[in-house]
Structure 1
Amino acid sequence: MARIQKKGNSGAAKNYITRTRAVKKLQISLPDFRRLCIFKGIYPREPRKKKKVSKGSTAATTFYYTKDIQYLLHEPLLAKFREHKAVAKKIARALGRGEAGDAARLEKNLVPKVKLDHIIKERYPTFVDALRDLDDALSMLFLFANLPSSDYVPAKTISLCQRLCHEFEHYVIVSHSLRKSFLSIKGIYYQATIQGQDILWLVPYRFVQRTGGDIDFRIMGTFVEFYTTLLGFVNYRLYTSIGLVYPPKFNAKMDEQGGELSAFQLEGRSLITNGTATKSDTPAVINPEAQAIADKIAAQPDAEEEEETAVAPVEAIEDENTEGIDKFEVTAPDADVLPQPEASSAEVASLFAPFTFFLSREVPRAPLEFILKAFGCKRVGWDGSLGDGAFTMNESDPFITHQIVDRPSISTDAPDVPETGKGSATAPKAQWPRSTMPGRTYVQPQWVWDCLNQGKLLRPDLYAPGAELPPHLSPWVKPKAGEYDPTRALQEQELEGEAEAAEDEDEDEEAAEASDEEMGGAEHDTDGLLNRESSVEAGEGMDVADSDDDDSEDSEDSEGDAKDAADEWDGFDSDAESDISEGEAARLQHQRELEAEATGKKLEPQVETTKSKNTAIRKKAEKKRKQEQEERERQKMMLSNKKRKLLKRIEYGTNKRDVEAENLRKKRRRVEKAKAAAEAV
């Protein structure tokens, strides 16, 4: 006879374990359990049949896989946590006795140090696995690098995050791995392609961060502790793969003066950085592919040598960058769209190489410096108030070809700045743009991001200071058929008859507003008349007429009104003519021709108003759409009930998308109309 199985000892009830039982099994505290799960990558699980797992209970319970908890029993970190707990008891006992010196000695000598090296190797068996999991790590570390120090976030952690992030940015600059970037409300998105893996991370803007009290920094600090170890391993592997020494030399004094990226000096075999050739102490055996990349980087001309060479004109450089790329044009409207060839990585990497940029003090220096250097620019200067490490801090340097500004343009007819007097040593400095340098291109910061995303140099006049900028769109979202595309002209996206219908609506609205104003004026006059009549007392200034006179006056008024109405009616208006069918319109035209031939008069051409044209086009488009809708309904009748419901859901989504696109086109049409009216004034 088979053994009777007890309930809850097999199946789903055995595969899951509650958090309380897991903590008791591991014999650690709940904070240590959470920390250990974050390090090992173990997360709560939701059973399919929660009632069976919890033995009929419906209370909110957190479950884990039993195998995951069993796997944690052999973790070496458990011993570290228990040692830390024992030392914490000794420190608390010493503080209770008032022995502060003993407590400090215990904390300095006996507190165990937790190392996560073995966990990194367990979770990421290959380097590609670590690169795939680098998105969240970079976003978290860049966030903590911009936070102010507090009791929850110590300055030591912030400094470590900043150092690791700058080291990673240096690798992206040297390897030219950056591909796309986007300015969003949350921050700046970057995407780099490293060893075939696309890595996307978010960098917040450098504002004063206000941390709320509802944030659990202990959990976030645990993630930061793990991610710093991970990024340290990744940076070491990336640096050594291209023949660079890790960690790079760090100049603390320059960093204190705001050097940031310039505070790090890269070293490698025959690698030239900042005009100094340095040799590394790396072993003689190096990957030949990595050595080839390092030699290529070392062969690049130095910044000081490039100062002596003349800068080529911008127009010629733009022609060179776009000369070798062909575009496949569509021969027919229904033909297949061929994929357009893109510029090679070498061309994109040297996008800003021939230029010398100067950053004004109002633009964000850190992201612009990173992007410009990642795309080949070796000469980036900025104002001295932005920090140390600039190529030049002199705004009037003749080698500067582009200056990035973000100030409103000042009208040329502004009054001159008065002199300070005879005793003044220096005259007041002229305001921008009066002090613009000849031959220099002034652009807004968005020009850099748009050039980066499109892989080519765009027209700088569209991004001139004070100009209305083109829409800044996400490079990861491609417009689909039927959706609104802000980069295309409005006429290319409008449906047949949509523009005419919009014009008719605008005219009707204007006519309605005009009629409302007239009616308002009439009511005002009527009210005034009534007030005047009511102010006259009975028998004062009034002639009382007989009933016969009143009847005669009423008849004359009615005849006059009828005559005025007859005079006002002079045939059908344009709206009535537009309602006439095409056959009736042709018959009336033929009748006019016969009358003109009989009388010998010349037939005057019928002037068709714009409103009648728009109405005809709109009605034709509506008729066409109605026929298409009827044909679609007839085709639906041949489908089964299941397929008809599926098609209905598809049409619901399509109609929703079309309505949204139409609303956006309507909004853009109003904006363009208002802009045209403002320019006309």
Structure 2
Amino acid sequence: MAKIKKKGTSGQAKNFITRTQAVRKLQISLPDFRRLCIFKGIYPREPRNKKKASKSSTGSTTFYYTRDIQYLLHEPLLNKFRDHKALAKKIGRALGRGEIKDAARLERTQTPKITLDHIIKERYPTFVDALRDLDDALSMLFLFANLPSTAAIPPKTIALCQRLCLEFQHYLIITHSLRKSFLSIKGIYYQATIQGQDILWLIPYKFVQRMEGDIDFRIMGTFVEFYTTLLSFVNFRLYTSIGLVYPPKFNASSDDQGAELDAFTLEGKSVAEQPKNLINGASATNGTTHATTADAQAEADKLTNLDEPSEDREQGEDLSDDRAEEITATDAIDTFSPTADDADILPQPAPSNEESGALFTPFTFFLSRETPRAPLEFLLKAFGSKRVGWDAVLGDGAYTTNEGDRSITHQIVDRPNLPEGALPAVPETKPSPAQKHANGETDGAADDDEKEEESSNGRLRPGTRVPGRIYVQPQWVWDCVNQGKLLRPDLYAPGATLPPHLSPWVKAKRGEYDPTLSLAEQEKEGEVEAAMLEDGDEDVVEAESDEEAEDGVDEQIEEETGMKIAGSESEDEDEDEDEDENPEQDEEWGGISDEAEDLEDPDVQHQRELEAEALGQRLTANQPKSEDETRKNEAKMKTKAVAKRRREEAEELERQKMMMSRKKRKVLEKMLYGNEKREEEAEKLRKKRRALEKAAQMI
């Protein structure tokens, strides 16, 4: 006789364990269990059958893998948690006896220190694994870096998050690893490519945050504790891989004045290991120079000025002008265009770090006071700009705080253009001309003093435009970065209606509305004429559509019953055949011309009589039609032709579907249904855009 199996010893009951059983087995509290699971990356699992997985009669809701809990039994952090629990009992006992000094001494000297280094090494065996899991870590740390300090979030945690995030941004600036960015409602999305891994994270806007009480910051704080350790390892590896000293030097006084990125000073381990943009001794953050010996600097200059010999020069051959032009022409990135309209879109090659990092290199930017300084500074420096200035009220570390500096090529503003009389007059505080003459001052000296005062102040009067400087809105920076080229600045001028800011990760599919293209490139055949008829003569369109529907019903009845219906097209065709058989009768009876038919319409006749009476002319039968009527008639004819062709295509598709199997026909119907919904949505958006463009033309 076979041995009877005991319940809970095999199957899902053995593979899964409830949370209560896991806490009892590990002999720790529930908060410590949650914290340990977050550190080790162990999450609840959902069994296929909860009744079979549960060992009790009550329905359990949270299950874990039994192997994961057994794996936690050998975790060194369990001893730390138990030591912390024993210390809490000692401190509570001392406070109960009134020994406050002893309790403080115990907390200061015997508190166990928890390190997560071994967990980082266990969860991420290779550095690529850490980079793949960096998205959530960056989003969480940037979120906490922008939060205010409260009882649940200590200031040390916020300061640590800010320091690690700024260090990571410095690496992206040095290596030009940033690729794309997008402004959304949630915040600003960034994407960087590090060692072939695409990392996407979100940075919230710097608004005043209201801390709600329904958020469990203990759970989030546990994630932050793990993510700070992870990002510290990642930053150390990234900095050492390009020859930089980690951690970089941090200026606390400059950070207190709002320097942010410019509070850090990057240094290389040695001249040979320094990156290319640090060999000349210039910092990549704010242009400050590092102290290097003259010999080392001379050797570095020699190395950087050496040209790599080409094969032609090694053979003693000189490059001709044609050869040089051919070489320079092949430096551009190849683009793969589809060979046909229905062909697949091939992925385009991405630019290298040097090409993408040189987008804003030759320009000097100045950020106005109303613009977001932190994201703009990060983007501009990550794409090559070494000279970014801003107003002194935005913080320390600017390249220049003088708005009237002549070296500034681009100024980013986010305020509308104001007319000359919109601003109040500046109060007169200068001495009168009589006083100037009494003091012996001339007009030239007064102008020089005014210029000196303006340059020393560093601010221009609102609405002032410096000749030769390009003024753009902040969106210009993001759109240039996403498209990888400099766009027309006149489209982003202050006060101008900006083009749509689209996500760089969403590509328009076939049949969907694409706001980057014009209406003429994506409108269907006959769509413009149908829209024109809807705007001008809706009643005529409805009547024609009803007639077409009736004709279709009559045709269907004729096909099914074989009977002819009076007034149908088949009867008209028979009459046409009879007329063709008797051409003499047609010659004798001239019939009614098209113009006479038009005159029979009472509305058209009345309109022509009114126009002729207003002009003082006599209405004749051969009066030419107006341009609007001609255009409408052409639109009607084209709309009818397109509708007829589409009806024929639909009938042909129905005949083809009859030859398909039931399974394939269902798949095709689902596909056609989805395409139809997409086309309807795209047509609605095109209709809205057509109305907006028409309203703009009327204005």
TM-score normalized by structure 1?
0.78
How far has the Cα of 1:411 moved from its partner?
2.6
Summarize the Cα distance change of 1:510–1:250 in structure 2 as closer, same or farther, 3 Å threshold.
farther
How far has the Cα of 1:333 moved from its partner?
4.9
CA distance in 1, matches of 2:135, 2:345: 33
**Share of identical aligned residues, percent?**
68
Q: Deviations over 1:72-130 (max 9, x none)?
A: 00000000000000111111122222322222111111110100000000000000000
**One-letter amino acid of the structure 2 residue matched with residue 486 of structure 1:** P
Q: Is the 8 A contact 1:417 1:430 kept in 2?
A: no
Summarize the Cα distance change of 1:215–1:279 in structure 2 as closer, same or farther, 3 Å threshold.
farther
Within 5 Å, give how 1:248-397 maps onto structure 2. 248-268=248-268, 269-270=270-271, 271=278, 272=281, 273=283, 274-278=287-291, 324=332, 333=341, 343-397=351-405
The 3-state SS of whatever aligns with 2:179 is: strand
**One-letter amino acid of the structure 2 residue matched with residue 93 of structure 1:** R
2:160 paired with 1:130: no
CA distance in 2, matches of 1:646, 1:199: 37
Structure-2 residue corresponding to 1:460: 489
Q: Is the 8 A contact 2:249 2:264 kept in 1?
A: yes
Q: Is the 8 A contact 1:267 1:279 kept in 2?
A: no
How far has the Cα of 1:652 moved from its partner?
1.8
Q: Is the 8 A contact 2:595 2:622 kept in 1?
A: no
Q: Is the 8 A contact 2:180 2:192 kept in 1?
A: yes
CA distance in 2, matches of 1:160, 1:241: 23
Within 5 Å, give how 1:491-502 maps onto structure 2. 491-502=520-531
Q: Deviations over 1:432-458 (max 9, x none)?
A: 33x211111111000100110111111
CA distance in 2, matches of 1:257, 1:594: 84
2:264 paired with 1:235: no
How far has the Cα of 1:414 moved from its partner?
5.0
CA distance in 2, matches of 1:204, 1:261: 17
Q: Deviations over 1:647-674 (max 9, x none)?
A: 1211221111111111111111121122
**One-letter amino acid of the structure 1 residue matched with residue 415 of structure 2:** R
CA RMSD, 1 decimal: 3.3
Report the count of equivalent residues.
570
How far has the Cα of 1:279 moved from its partner?
6.5
**One-letter amino acid of the structure 1 residue matched with residue 160 of structure 2:** L
2:69 paired with 1:69: yes
Summarize the Cα distance change of 1:505–1:405 in structure 2 as closer, same or farther, 3 Å threshold.
same
Summarize the Cα distance change of 1:509–1:616 in structure 2 as closer, same or farther, 3 Å threshold.
closer
Structure-2 residue corresponding to 1:10: 10
* Farther-moved stretch of structure 1 (366-375 vs 58-67): 58-67
2:672 paired with 1:651: yes
CA distance in 1, matches of 2:632, 2:594: 25
Structure-2 residue corresponding to 1:199: 199
Structure-2 residue corresponding to 1:630: 651
* Farther-moved stretch of structure 1 (255-264 vs 615-624): 615-624
Q: Deviations over 1:232-284 (max 9, x none)?
A: 0000000000000000000000000001000000010233213423569xxxx
CA distance in 1, matches of 2:182, 2:357: 18
**One-letter amino acid of the structure 2 residue matched with residue 617 of structure 1:** K
CA distance in 2, matches of 1:490, 1:218: 53
The 3-state SS of whatever aligns with 1:276 is: coil
CA distance in 1, matches of 2:153, 2:533: 62
Structure-1 residue corresponding to 2:632: 611
CA distance in 2, matches of 1:107, 1:279: 47
The 3-state SS of whatever aligns with 2:290 is: strand
Unaligned runs of 5+ in 2: 272-277, 294-298, 306-327, 433-448, 542-571, 581-585, 597-619
2:673 paired with 1:660: no
**One-letter amino acid of the structure 2 residue matched with residue 443 of structure 1:** V
CA distance in 2, matches of 1:51, 1:332: 57
Structure-1 residue corresponding to 2:642: 621
The 3-state SS of whatever aligns with 1:193 is: strand
Q: Deviations over 1:28-47 (max 9, x none)?
A: 00000000000000000000
Structure-1 residue corresponding to 2:560: none
TM-score normalized by structure 2?
0.76
* Farther-moved stretch of structure 1 (83-92 vs 99-108): 99-108
CA distance in 1, matches of 2:694, 2:388: 41
Summarize the Cα distance change of 1:160–1:295 in structure 2 as closer, same or farther, 3 Å threshold.
farther
Summarize the Cα distance change of 1:74–1:386 in structure 2 as closer, same or farther, 3 Å threshold.
same
Structure-1 residue corresponding to 2:208: 208
CA distance in 2, matches of 1:26, 1:338: 54
Q: Is the 8 A contact 1:321 1:347 kept in 2?
A: no
Structure-2 residue corresponding to 1:505: 534
Within 5 Å, give how 1:511-526 maps onto structure 2. none
How far has the Cα of 1:344 moved from its partner?
3.9
Structure-2 residue corresponding to 1:411: 419
* Farther-moved stretch of structure 1 (120-129 vs 495-504): 495-504
Structure-2 residue corresponding to 1:432: 462
